[in-house]
């Protein structure tokens, strides 16, 4: 894998990854963005940090394809956020970050504790094409993407203030996507978020996922020698799927080449299976959970898919009991949804 580092005139970095070196000259850049301003406030009842980033109100929202900010720029055309005519995979610091190395100082006089929201937010552009998905990228591109995620983990976790890194993808307007171009994001946190802290505590007690392996037959959607895709028996969404390696890994940075190939293929096939389930592009949130800093000996890397659909044309809305108490109520059994997904013919 080759990597090129380029700094834009507004100070943000772009990382260009590919099977071949990227040597194209930069084109004209658009208007520079103002400095981000964000901070965190402590929630005394939930015992967690809440990030405030008011500058994000002005971010791009569902632009027409001719103004796609994640497309390659063209000479004389609309200056996108990537000032090059082509690329394989591009990673750039977010123009409207919630967490940033330049986050600024929290306001004074608040009645709760505050802290700087120092961290980073990056956008991972999967392809220069305006449309596509993990299912259509092609195996070589998916493997490259997995290696890109690995490189970003390595770079970001090397920073002293970063303790947890989370790549994710929001797919579909149903989950709030604001740009249709195939892409994901990476958030690098200066603290361990509450959901991950709970997972950390669970893995400290025992190897939860590896212990479950012998019991997951009825919940298995697809698998190969290295990777398993299951509807977890404790799923909180009807078609929730977890993907994880059968051998212990704290993150993809410890994968062998064979495991990289396997995991990339299983992710692509899983998205293809989702799309064929209802014969429509399947919306989801996909989150990579790797070990926070210091938990590499216990935390088992896994990917969680949270799809909002409970049928072809019905969304799974969170009800008052779920938002208000945090206790989810499911109207579909994991055993049944696993069978539905398993029976999809690719």
Residue 179: which of 58, 31, 60, 92 has the closest Cα? Answer: 60
User: 164 vs 41, 86, 251, CA distance in Å?
Assistant: 18, 31, 12
Enumerate the β-bridge partners of residue 306: 285
Residue 132: which of 89, 174, 166 has the closest Cα? Answer: 89
Residues with active-site annotation: 183
Stretch (H or E) spanning 164:
strand 164-171
Concatenating the DSSP letter of every residue in 12-35 gives -EEEEEESS---PPP----PPPPP
CA pair distance 189, 195, nearest whole angstrom: 13
Stretch (H or E) spanning 325:
helix 320-325
How many other CB atoms sit within 10 Å of the CB of residue 279?
8
């Amino acid at each position: 894998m080759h990597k090129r580092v380029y700094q834009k005139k507004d100070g943000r970095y772009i990382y260009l990854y590919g099977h071949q070196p990227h040597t194209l000259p930069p084109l004209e850049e658009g208007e520079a963005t103002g400095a981000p301003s964000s901070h965190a406030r402590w929630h005394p009842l939930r015992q967690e940090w809440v990030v405030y980033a008011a500058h994000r109100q002005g971010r791009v929202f569902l632009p027409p394809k001719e103004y796609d900010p994640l497309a390659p720029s063209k000479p004389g055309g609309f200056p996108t956020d990537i000032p090059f005519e082509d690329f394989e995979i591009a990673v750039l610091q977010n123009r409207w970050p919630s967490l940033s190395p330049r986050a600024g100082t929290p306001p004074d006089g608040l009645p709760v504790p505050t802290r700087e929201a120092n961290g980073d937010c990056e956008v991972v552009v999967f392809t220069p094409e305006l449309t596509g998905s993990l299912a259509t990228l092609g195996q070589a591109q998916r493997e490259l993407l997995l290696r890109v995620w690995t490189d970003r983990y390595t770079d970001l976790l090397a920073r002293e203030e970063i303790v947890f890194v989370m790549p994710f993808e929001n797919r579909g307007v149903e989950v709030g996507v604001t740009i249709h171009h195939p892409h994901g994001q990476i958030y690098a946190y200066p603290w361990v978020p509450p959901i991950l802290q709970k997972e950390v505590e669970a893995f400290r007690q025992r190897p939860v996922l590896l212990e479950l392996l012998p019991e997951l037959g009825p919940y298995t959607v697809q698998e190969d020698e290295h990777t398993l895709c299951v509807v977890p028996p404790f799923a909180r969404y009807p078609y929730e799927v977890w993907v994880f390696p059968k051998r212990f890994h704290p993150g993809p940075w410890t994968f062998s080449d064979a495991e990289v190939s396997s995991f990339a293929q299983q992710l692509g096939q899983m998205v293809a299976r989702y799309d064929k389930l209802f014969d429509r592009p399947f919306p989801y949130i996909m989150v990579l959970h790797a070990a926070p800093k210091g938990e590499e000996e216990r935390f088992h890397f896994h990917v969680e898919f949270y799809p909002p659909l409970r049928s072809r044309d019905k969304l799974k809305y969170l009800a008052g009991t779920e938002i208000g108490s945090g206790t989810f109520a499911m109207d579909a059994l994991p055993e049944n949804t696993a069978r539905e997904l398993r029976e999809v013919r690719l």
